[in-house]
């Protein structure tokens, strides 16, 4: 994986479209307690919060939501190149604002019962109301289900909508007193201390570890230490707080769909000019930001989309090798000549960043240094989160460091929808929004959208952040997880 620049940009909950996890506080439901102490000296051990729920739509902790990927499956699986592989769905068609799904009759829940369209409808309605999945399904309006067929109605056409159909399918309870949590995934819940292989899972591949020991943990801060001591076998460190905890364990870098970007206030007198936004985009030292600000845990973003997305495989990117010269020419064409009057006296840009994230502060400082080298008076203002969000809402900034987690359909709705979490400073009635809508409708190619995005420059993609998978040194890991499924290859792990 290429390494590129480091950026210290602020993480803002309003802008970071990421799931936030709280401490353990939700009722687990009816899960049998373990009847005896388990010898786990050679057992695969994963963290769990015993007072949180295994239901993916009720879970509030990172631990339990991660486990849901082992217990449940969606209508589809999203592969590492962000293409769809049918799972519970046998066939899918997307036409305009309608998504039709025919279900695979051979799939069953782990208790042997059929997976019905009513189960999909039940799960969809929960997902729409869940903090964990509502963003992913924001463009989905209605569902109708009958037998083994399901039809979704979209608010707006999106030819990539099928990528959103990996939300977990949970068996609909028989009545309100039924608290069971049943899915169709690789494993099923055995008791409060363990998961066991789902013998009805559709794959012919057998796991090397048939039982997973669950270790109760109350917070994520102790995760790295618990891997090092062997208390748990695996932990994912997403470094969202702007720090990396190093331990004597096996590690694997995993690129995430977390896009770090430079937001630009297009309502500012200078930034209202597309040439100025283009120039600033070209001046950003992306590789330096990845390498220095993010400790090389990231990849330069040449477009606003995840670089491994299959849709980009034939897209040709513009040459940025002469970016400084081109930026200077763009500024001059916008009326900012270096002549006798220093550009710094004319254009002063404030870059605001959340003051609690060292990575992002460093990113802002690298951006400021690059702009100053081009003659622009750029200053970094580090502010508390509440002040940061308030200033964005009031437009009291020129530039800001932001982050958003892209949905699996690569939706840019956070930027281009009125009230979107990353739409600060963007005119949502501008041409780039209509071009994007045409792209989703299939009327415009990915190449055309990317080319026009470079010209319009509504914001500047900087990089995609990486997280770190941590494994105990004794664990044999033949295949690691993927960006779309950290437990993709858990069947191959063993002691």
How do residues 276-289 score in pLDDT, each as one tens digit?
999 999 999 999 99
pLDDT of residue 341: 54
For the stretch 79-111, pLDDT in tens is 999 999 999 999 999 999 999 999 999 999 999
Task: Calculate mean pLDDT across residues 165-174.
Answer: 94
Angstrom distance (rounded) from CA 60 to CA 21: 5
Average pLDDT over residues 46-64: 94
Say what the pLDDT of residue 319 is. Answer: 78
Tokens representing 128 are 């729409």
Q: Can you tell me the distance from the alpha carbon of 299 to that of 395, in angstroms, rounded to the nearest whole number?
A: 30
3-state secondary structure of 450: helix
5: pLDDT strictly greater than 50: no
Q: Are strands 399-405 and 348-354 parallel, antiparallel or unpaired?
A: parallel
Q: Would you say the C-alpha torsion 104, 105, 107, 108 has a positive or negative sign?
A: positive
- Give me the pLDDT at residue 98, please: 98
More confident site: 34 or 94: 94
Residue 260's nearest CA partner among 317, 299, 291 is 299
Q: Which of 230, 239, 235, 232 is nearest to 251 (CA)?
A: 235
Establish how many alpha carbons lie within 13 A of residue 288's alpha carbon, considering only the half-sphere containing its beta carbon.
Answer: 12
Angle in degrees, CA 139, 238, 362, rounded to 5 = 100
CA angle in degrees (0–180, nearest 5) for 117-125-81: 80
The confidence score (pLDDT) of residue 151 equals 98
Q: Residues 199-221: what's their mean pLDDT? A: 86
Q: Tell me 162's DSSP state.
A: G
The per-residue pLDDT for range 116-130, each reduced to its tens digit, is 999 999 999 999 999
Q: Token pair 């591949």 is at which residue?
A: 205
Is the pLDDT at 261 greater than 90? The verdict is yes
**403 vs 422: CA distance, rounded Å:** 8
Cα Rg, the chain, nearest whole Å? 24
Rounded average pLDDT over 205-223: 85
What do you get for the CA distance between the two ends of the chain, in Å? 28
Mean pLDDT of the chain: 89
Is the pLDDT assigned to residue 476 strictly greater than 50?
yes
- The share of the chain scoring above pLDDT 90, in percent, equals 77
Interval 53-65 mean pLDDT = 94
Q: Is 285 in contact with 363 (CB distance < 8 Å)?
A: no
Q: What is the pLDDT of residue 340?
A: 46
Quick: pLDDT tens for 278-331.
999 999 999 999 999 999 999 999 999 999 999 999 999 987 766 888 999 999
C-alpha distances in Å from residue 407, one per residue of 32, 68, 263, 412 = 35, 18, 19, 9
Contacts of 148 (CB under 8 A, 6+ apart): 102, 103, 105, 116, 117
The answer, yes or no, to whether residue 30 has pLDDT greater than 50, is no
User: Is the pLDDT confidence value at 14 over 60?
Assistant: no
């Amino acid at each position: 994986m290429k390494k590129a620049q480091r950026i210290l940009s602020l993480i803002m909950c309003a802008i970071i479209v990421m799931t936030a996890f709280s401490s353990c506080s939700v009722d687990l439901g009816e899960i049998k307690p373990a009847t005896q102490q388990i010898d786990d000296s050679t057992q695969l051990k994963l963290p769990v919060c015993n007072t949180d729920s295994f239901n993916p739509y009720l879970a509030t902790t990172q631990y339990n939501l991660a486990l849901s990927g082992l217990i449940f499956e969606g209508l589809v699986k999203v592969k590492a190149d962000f293409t769809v592989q049918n799972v519970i769905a046998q066939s899918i068609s997307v036409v305009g604002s309608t998504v039709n799904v025919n279900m695979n009759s051979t799939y069953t829940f782990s208790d042997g019962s059929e997976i019905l369209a009513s189960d999909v409808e039940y799960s969809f309605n929960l997902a729409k109301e869940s903090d964990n999945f509502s963003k992913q399904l924001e463009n989905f309006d209605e569902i109708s289900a009958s037998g083994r067929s399901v039809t979704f109605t979209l608010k707006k056409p999106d030819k990539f909508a099928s990528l959103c159909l990996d939300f977990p399918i949970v068996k609909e309870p028989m009545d309100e007193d039924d608290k069971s949590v049943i899915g169709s995934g690789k494993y099923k819940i055995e008791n409060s201390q363990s998961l066991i292989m789902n013998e009805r899972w559709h794959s012919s591949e057998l796991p090397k570890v048939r039982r997973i020991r669950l270790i109760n943990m109350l917070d994520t801060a102790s995760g790295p230490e618990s891997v090092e001591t062997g208390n748990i076998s695996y932990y994912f460190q997403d470094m969202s707080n702007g720090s990396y905890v190093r331990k004597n364990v096996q590690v694997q870098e995993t690129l995430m769909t977390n896009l770090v970007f430079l937001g630009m206030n297009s309502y500012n007198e200078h930034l209202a000019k597309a040439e100025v936004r283009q120039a600033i985009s070209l001046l950003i030292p992306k590789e330096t930001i990845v390498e220095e600000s993010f400790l090389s845990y990231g990849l330069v973003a040449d477009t606003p989309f995840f670089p491994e997305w299959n849709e980009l495989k034939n897209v040709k990117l513009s040459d940025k090798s002469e970016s400084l010269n081109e930026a200077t020419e763009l500024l001059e064409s916008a009326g900012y000549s270096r002549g006798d009057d220093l550009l710094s006296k004319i254009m002063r840009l404030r870059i605001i960043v959340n003051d609690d994230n060292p990575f992002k502060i460093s990113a802002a400082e690298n951006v400021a240094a690059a702009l100053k080298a081009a003659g622009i008076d750029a200053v970094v203002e580090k502010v508390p989160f509440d002040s940061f969000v308030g200033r964005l809402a009031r437009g009291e900034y020129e530039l800001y460091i932001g982050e958003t987690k892209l949905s699996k359909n690569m939706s840019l709705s956070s930027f281009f929808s009125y009230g979107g979490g990353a739409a600060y400073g963007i005119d949502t009635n501008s041409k780039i929004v209509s071009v994007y809508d045409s792209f989703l409708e299939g009327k415009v190619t990915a190449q055309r959208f990317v080319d026009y995005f470079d010209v319009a420059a509504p914001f500047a993609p900087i990089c995609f952040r990486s997280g770190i998978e941590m494994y105990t040194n004794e664990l044999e890991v033949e295949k690691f997880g993927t960006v779309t499924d950290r437990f993709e290859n858990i069947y191959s792990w063993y002691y």
